[in-house]
Amino acid sequence: MRFIADGPALPDELLVARDAGQVIFFCGAGVSRARVDLPDFTTLADRVIGGLGSTTRSAARSVLAAARAQKPIEGVGGLVAADRIFALLEREFEVVDVRAAVARALRPEPKPDLSAHRTLLDLARGPDGRVRLVTTNFDRLFSAADPGAPVHTAPSLPDPRRPKDLAGVIHLHGRVDETYSRAEDDEFVLSSADFGRAYLADGWATRFIQGLMEGFQLIFVGYSADDPPVQYLLEALSERTIARGGLYAFHGGAPDQAQALWRSKGVRAIPFSEDNNFAALWRTLEAWAERARNPAGWERRVLRRAKRGPVPLAPHERGWVRHLAMFPSSAARLREAELPSDWVCVFDPAIRYGTPENTYGAGPGFDPFDAYGLDDDPTPPAAETEVFGARRQVPSEVWDAFAASPWDGDDRPATKDGHLRGPAAGEASDLSPRHQALCNWLVSVADRPATLWWAAGQKDLHPTLVRGVLHRLGRDPVPDRALSTAWRQLFTSLRDRPDRARAGGFNLVGNVRRDGWTVANLDALEDYLRPRLNVDRPYTAARRPPSGRRLSRHALIHLDVEHPTMPRQLDLPDVHLPRFVEIARRTLERGRDVLIQERGFDAESLPPIANDPDLKGAGHDRTHGIAAPFFEYLRLFRRLFALDPIAAQQARARWRTGDPNFDRLRIWAAGVPELTDAAEAGRILLELDEDAFWHSRHQRDLLLTLRTRWGALSAADRRAVERRLATGRPRYHREAQDHFARGRAISSLARLYWLRAENCELSEWAGRACERLMLRAPGYAVDDAGNAAASLESFAGWVHTETDATPLSDVPPKSLLATAREIATQRSGRGLTEHRPLVGLAAVRSARVLAALRMAEAEGEFPEWAWRTMLASDAAALKRPRGRMLLAERLARLKTEGIARLIHDLTRWLETEAEPLARDAPAAFDRLWATVMATLREYPQSAQSAIRSTQPDWVMSAINAPTGHLAGALMRHPDAQPAEGQGFGPTWLGKVSGLVELPDEGGRFAALIFLSHLDWFQHFAPDWTNSHLLSRRHGGAQDEAAFWSGFLRREAMPPRTIYTVLKDDMLRFVGGDHEGGDRTRQLAALILMGWVGPSDRPGDQWVTDAEQRDALVEGSDTFRHHTIWLLERWMNQDEVGDVQAKVLRFLREIWPRQRIVRTWEVSEKLAALALQAGDAFPEFVEAVAPHLVPVEDPFNTFLAFDAISQELISAHAEEVLTLIYPLLSTRLSAWPYEARSVVEQLALRPEIAKDPRLAELRRRMSAG
C-alpha cells in the first residue's frame, strides 16, 4: 500500500503486523542524517580520522580513500567495510580516544529537528502504548525526542522472550553519554573486533536478534545494504530463521537494484525514490505514523473519503480501501461504513482491466482502468479499440478481493477463485472470515444497481450471498420491484446454469440408454426441455455499472430465455411418440409463459413455417429462441400424423387459443388438406383474432395457406376473407392517424394483389375495394405486392463483390470515376452484393482507368480510392510488363503529397511486383523508388506502421510498415542475388543504405527486415553489414530492441562467424530489462543450442558451461522458464536416446545454485521436468532436488500434483517424496491442489513409513 502517490509500496501484511505490535523498527544512521545531518558510518570514520589527527599516510586514511574511490558493484555495494577502518584506528590510537572522538563527531547542533525520530517512535509504539525500537546509532536523539521512553544499552539488553521487559529504545551497539564526550558505560560496537565480540565471541547481540525474530518482524530504516551493522545483524541470524521471512528494509534507488542488494540476505526490499533528500520515504513514514497513532481513526478517514466512490480518487487512494478489504477485521468495517457499491469495480480485476469505450474518434471514452485501477496494477497496453471485440488480458498476479489469500482468516486449502464467486461457488463450503465480511458488505448494498451489475457477470455465487441478498430485499420497506425482480431472475439463471443443464442432458442420455424410456426418464426429459433464464450485464453498461434509483430492468440486466432442444443422442421411439408430442407442446407453452412472465412481453417472433427459396445466406431464426421448441414440436407432430392421424388430431385439439405460436400452427394446419377439410380451414382462418390475422410474421404462412385452399373454400368463406382483407389491419399503439390510414390501405392492397397475382380469383367487389384503397395510398406500386409473402427471417452470408464493368462501358473518361463511385455506394441482393465496377474495368481496360486518373489529376483532384483500387487489382493487364511499367511510371509522376496518402498500398504493391518490375523495367522501378524515398524524407510520419501500440511488437510493426514493404521489395530485386564471388552492386546496396538510414522508425523497420537475412548480407557485404546492421545493436534503446527483434525473428542458428560476433551481446541482452516473451524464448534457444554445439567433439561448444550458467543467473525467471521448457522439449523429441544424459549433465553441472535462481516458479518447472523423465525419474530427482523451494502461490502453479500417478509412487516412493518435500510449504493453505492426496498415497508405502520427511508432511496436514 502507498500512503502517497510516488511513495514506496508497503507490504500490506507489514502494516497489519505493526498495528498488532509484531514489528520492531531497526533504525540506522540514515534516521539521524535525515533532519539532524549526523554522519553515516563512513562519514563518521572520516571525521574521527581528522579529529584524532591520523597521519596522512596512515592505514586508516588509505583504506578510507580506497573505499571512496572504489565504485560500488551492482548487487554488492561497497567492498571496504567501515568497521575495518575503525579497527585500524584502534591500532593507531587508544580505544578510549577513538570512542571519545566518535562521541564528539556525533554531537548535534543545538535544538535539532527531531521530527524524523518522533515519527519512528510513533511507529514503534505498540497497541499497549509501549515503544519497542532498536537502533545501532550511538547518538541520544531518540531519548531527546521521547525523554520518558526507557533506554537499554549494550550489552545489558532485555530478553525478547519477555514482552514486559522488551520496551523502550534499545541501543544495540551502545550510545554516547549525555555530554557527547565518551561512550556510555565504555561500550561501543564500532570496530571489527567489537563486532566480533558482540556477534561471535560473547554473542549477546546475536542472541538478542535471534530472540526478536521468534516473535517479531524486523524492518530496517536508515541503512544501506553494505552497512557493517546490517552485515553483522543478518549474519547473526541462522539460515533457517531468515527463510521464515519477516525481514524488510527501506532502500533508496531503483527496484531492481534494491532487490539485487537485499534478496541474497533474505530481506525483502522496499524501494523508494532518493529525490529531494528522500522526501518520498519520510512523507510515507510520517503518513504511516499518523495511521499508527490511531489505526481506527485512519480507517474511518479512509472510509469517509471512499464514500465519494472510486472514480474521483487517485489509484493509491483506492489502494487504501483495497488494504482494508484484504484483512478480515478491516473488511468487516466496509459494511459498517456503508461503502458505496461501485467499489466492487475496484475489487474485481476483470472490471479494472475491462475494455475501454470506443468512441470512434469522438474523443476519449470511458476507460475502466483509469476509473478503477490500483497503484500497483501493471498498466495495460493501449487497447486496440479500433479492432472490434479486442479485450485486455487480466494479469495473473494482480489483486482480486474475491480470490483466496493467505490473510482470509483460515488455513483451509482454497480454490484459486475463492468461495464467494466463481464456477464452484454454488457448492462451496463455509466462507472464510474475510469473504464473509465482503459478503456482508455486498448484501448491505444489494439495493444498489452496481452490486447487481457485478453479480450478473459472475459464473456463480455462494449460497450465503444469495440468501443474504434475498433477505435484504425482502425487508425493504419500499421495495424497488425492478431491482428485486432482476435479482430473482439472476439467481434463477445461476441455478439453471448452462453447464448444469448440459450435465443434466448427459445424465439423461446415459439413463435412457441404460434403463429405456421409463416414466422417470420421460419426466426428466420434460424437465431438461424447460426454458431457462440467462442473465448477463446489460449491453449498454458493459464497462461500468448503471447508476441511479428506480431503474428499469433493461437498464439493470440483460435477460435471455434459452430454450433447450432434444439431445441429438436420444432415440425417440414411435411407441412413446404421443408422450413426446405432449411434452413438446407443454414445453412450447411454458416457453411463451416464461417470456411473458420474465420479460413482460413476447418479443420473440417465429420465422415462417414455409421456407423462402429466394432467401440467400444462412439464418439461425429456426434454431434459436422460441423457434427451437416450436419447430421441434412441429417435427414431432408431423411424425405423429404420419404414424397415427387420430392421435395427431387429438393432439391438435389441445392447441391453446390466444397463443401466437399455436395460431401459427392453426394457420399452417388450415393449409394442409390431409389435416383439415375446406370448411374447417375457412373456419380457422376467419376465427383468427385481429392480431393473429394481421401479424406481419404470420403473413407468409397465411398467404400460402390462402393460395393453397382458395379454390376449395366456399364462396361465402372467400367473400368473408376478401372483406376482412379489405377492411384492413387495426391501428398500432400510438400510430399517427395519417400514417395509419395509408399503412392500413397498403397492407390490404399487398395481400389482395398478391392473391390475384397467384391466380386466386377475386370477386368484383374485391376489385372495387382495391380501387378505393389505392386512393388512400398514393404512390403505391402494384408490383410491390410481389414481396407480400417474402420471409422476414434474418439471414447472414458472405458479401459477394460484383465487378461487372458493363455499367461503365459507355461512360466517358471524364465521368468514369464519379460514376464508378456512385455505383459502389449501392448494394443489392438484400445487402449481400456490393458493386465494384472499377475493379472489373481495371481488369480488362486498365488503360481507361489510368487515363481517367490522369484527367482527374489534371483537374486538381486526387481520387485516393481509385488509386487504391488500381494498386489492389490483380488484373492480367497490370501483370504484363507493359501494364506494370505504365502503372509504375504513372505513380512515379504523382506528387509526394499523394504518394504519402497511398504509401501503405503503394509499398505493398511494390513489394509484390518488385522482381518482375525491376527485371523488365528497371528505369521505371528506379524512378518510382526515388519518388517514394523522397516522400518518406519529406513526410517522415508516413513511415509509421499500420500496427499501432504503445508497446510495439517490432516484427509485426515492421512487416506492416512502408519501409518494411520496401525492404521486402529490395530482397526480391534481381540484384539481391549476386553471383558467387561478387558483391552486391553499388546501386542496389545504395537503395538498401538509404532505407536503413531513414530516421527513427522508418530506418528501424527496414533494418529489422534485412536482419532476417543477416547471413546473406554478411556473406556478400561483410563491411557494410558491420557498419549498417550489426552496429545497430549498440544504438539507442529503440535501435537495440528493433535489432534483437529482427535477429531473433529468424528462429534458426546463425553461422558461427555471426554467432561469435554477437555472443557477448546476447549474453548481455539476457540480463537486460527489455526482454519480451517470444524474444526471450528465442534467446534462450540460441544460447542453449550454442551450449549444446553442433557435435559432442571437444571445442564444438559455442557457449561455455560458465557462460550458460551466467546467462541463467543474470536472466529473468522467464528466461529460465523457457530454458527448462526447451530442455523438456529436447528430451521428448529425442530419437537417439542420448539427450537425457546431456540434460542430466546440464542440471547437475550447469544449473546455478544461486539464491536468485531458486524461486518457486522455477522450482515447479524443474519438478515438472523430472516428472517427464520416464525411467530416468530417480536420476532427475537427484539432479533437481537441491534447487527446489516451497511453492508460495498454490493458485498460480502449473505443477499438476495429480500427474504423480499411483504407478510412479509404487515404483519410486522415496524419489517422489524427495521431489515434493521441498516444494510443500509449512503452511497447508499454500499447498497445491492434489498435494494432500499424494502425501496420503505415500503414507501407504512401507519403504518410507519411517522417513522423517513424510512424518513432517503428515504433521502439517494434521495441524492444518
Closest by CA position to 199, among listed 208, 211, 187, 186: 208
Q: How far apart are CA 444 and CA 152, in angstroms?
A: 51
User: 793 and 607 in contact (C-beta within 8 Å)?
Assistant: yes
Q: Which three cell numbers mark 141?
A: 536523539
Q: Which residue has the cell 390475384?
A: 756
Q: What is the pTM of this model?
A: 0.71
Q: What is the pLDDT of residue 112?
A: 95
Closest by CA position to 307, among listed 297, 315, 317, 316: 317
Task: Evaluate if residue 570 carries a pLDDT over 60.
Answer: yes
* Residue 75 banded pLDDT, cuts 50, 70, 90: very low
Phi/psi for 370 (5° steps) reads -65, -35
Which runs of consecutive H residues, i.e. helices, occur in 106-191?
A: 115-124, 141-145
- Taking residues 1133-1139, what's their average pLDDT? 68
Task: Evaluate if residue 14 carries a pLDDT over 50.
Answer: yes
551: left (phi over 0), alpha (psi -120 to 50) or beta: beta
DSSP-assigned letter for residue 1056: H
- Per the prediction, the chain carries an average pLDDT of 87
For 1103-1121, letters b (16+ CB in 10 Å) and e give beeebbbbbbebbeeebbb
Domain ranges of the chain: 12-292, 294-498, 572-787, 799-873, 880-1012, 1051-1157, 1158-1264
Task: Evaluate if residue 769 carries a pLDDT over 70.
Answer: yes
Closest by CA position to 793, among listed 612, 633, 628: 612
Chain-centre distance for alpha carbon 127 = 41
Which residues are paired to 421 by β-bridges? 461
Q: Beta-strand (E) ranges in 294-439? A: none
Residue type, 314: A
Q: What is the pLDDT of residue 362?
A: 58
Q: What is the pLDDT of residues 462-481, one digit of tens each?
A: 999 999 999 998 888 777 88
Task: Evaluate if residue 1012 carries a pLDDT over 50.
Answer: yes
Q: What is the pLDDT of residues 227-256, one digit of tens each?
A: 888 888 787 665 555 556 689 999 998 887
Phi/psi for 250 (5° steps) reads -75, 135
Q: Please report which helix (H) or strand (E) contains residue 556, including its range.
A: helix 553-556
Task: Evaluate if residue 1203 carries a pLDDT over 90.
Answer: no
Q: What is the pLDDT of residue 799?
A: 55
Report the range of poorest mean pLDDT among 33-42, 1120-1129, 1135-1144. Answer: 1135-1144
Close Cβ partners of 37 (under 8 Å, ≥ 6 residues apart): 109
Q: Which three cell numbers mark 548?
A: 441511479
Q: How far apart are CA 344 and CA 1029, in angstroms?
A: 52
Q: What is the dihedral of CA 299, 301, 306, 311, to 10 degrees?
A: -120
- Taking residues 615-638, what's their average pLDDT? 82
Which residues are paired to 134 by β-bridges? 26, 170
Q: What is the pLDDT of residue 793?
A: 75
Return the higher-pLDDT residue of 103 and 364. 103
Which residues are paired to 1144 by β-bridges? none
Q: Which residue has the cell 446454469?
A: 497
Report the range of poorest mean pLDDT among 120-134, 192-206, 691-705, 936-950. Answer: 936-950
Is the N-terminal amide bond of 978 cis, ω within 30° of 0?
A: no
Q: What is the pLDDT of residue 552?
A: 85
- Taking residues 8-16, what's their average pLDDT? 93
Q: How many residues does the chain have?
A: 1264
Q: How far apart are CA 1218 and CA 1249, in angstroms?
A: 14
Q: What is the pLDDT of residue 408?
A: 85
Strands 558-562, 532-536: pairing kind: antiparallel
Q: How far is CA 975 from CA 557, 915, 966, 972, 1140, in A?
A: 65, 9, 14, 8, 47
User: 751 and 661 in contact (C-beta within 8 Å)?
Assistant: no
- Taking residues 332-361, what's their average pLDDT? 90
Q: Is the dihedral of CA 696, 697, 703, 709 positive or negative?
A: negative
Return the higher-pLDDT residue of 1263 and 567. 567
Give percent of the chain above pLDDT 70. Answer: 90
Q: How far apart are CA 58 and CA 893, in angstroms?
A: 82
Q: How far apart are CA 86 and CA 339, in angstroms?
A: 58
User: 899 and 892 in contact (C-beta within 8 Å)?
Assistant: no
Close Cβ partners of 586 (under 8 Å, ≥ 6 residues apart): 526
Q: What is the pLDDT of residue 1198?
A: 55
- Taking residues 333-362, what's their average pLDDT? 88
Q: What is the pLDDT of residue 803?
A: 67
Task: Evaluate if residue 860 carries a pLDDT over 60.
Answer: yes
User: 1177 and 1171 in contact (C-beta within 8 Å)?
Assistant: yes
Q: What is the pLDDT of residues 592-612, one digit of tens each?
A: 999 888 877 665 678 899 887
User: What spatial distance separates the first Cα and last Cα of the chain, rounded to whole Å?
Assistant: 29
- Taking residues 293-320, what's their average pLDDT? 96
- Taking residues 793-820, what's their average pLDDT? 71
Task: Evaluate if residue 1200 carries a pLDDT over 60.
Answer: yes
Return the higher-pLDDT residue of 360 and 855. 855
Q: Is the dihedral of CA 345, 348, 352, 355 positive or negative?
A: negative
Give the SS3 label for residue 406: coil
Which runs of consecutive H residues, i.e. helices, occur in 1093-1192?
A: 1105-1114, 1117-1132, 1139-1145, 1160-1171, 1177-1184
Q: What is the pLDDT of residue 79?
A: 46
Residue 894 C-beta-side C-alpha neighbours within 13 Å = 29
Judging by beta carbons within 10 Å of its beta carbon (0-12, 13-18, 19+), is residue 393 exposed, middle or buried?
A: exposed
Close Cβ partners of 924 (under 8 Å, ≥ 6 residues apart): 885, 888, 889, 892, 917
Which runs of consecutive H residues, i.e. helices, occur in 1033-1076?
A: 1037-1048, 1056-1070
Chain-centre distance for alpha carbon 238 = 41
Most confident of 423-432, 1147-1156, 1212-1221: 1212-1221
- Taking residues 418-444, what's their average pLDDT? 87
Q: What is the pLDDT of residue 1101?
A: 84
- Taking residues 812-826, what's their average pLDDT? 77
Q: Which three cell numbers mark 864?
A: 485516393
Q: What is the pLDDT of residues 364-383, one digit of tens each?
A: 778 999 999 999 998 886 54
Q: What is the pLDDT of residue 172?
A: 95
- Taking residues 676-684, what's their average pLDDT? 96
Q: What is the pLDDT of residue 418?
A: 57
Q: What is the pLDDT of residue 18?
A: 95
Q: Which three cell numbers mark 674?
A: 390431409
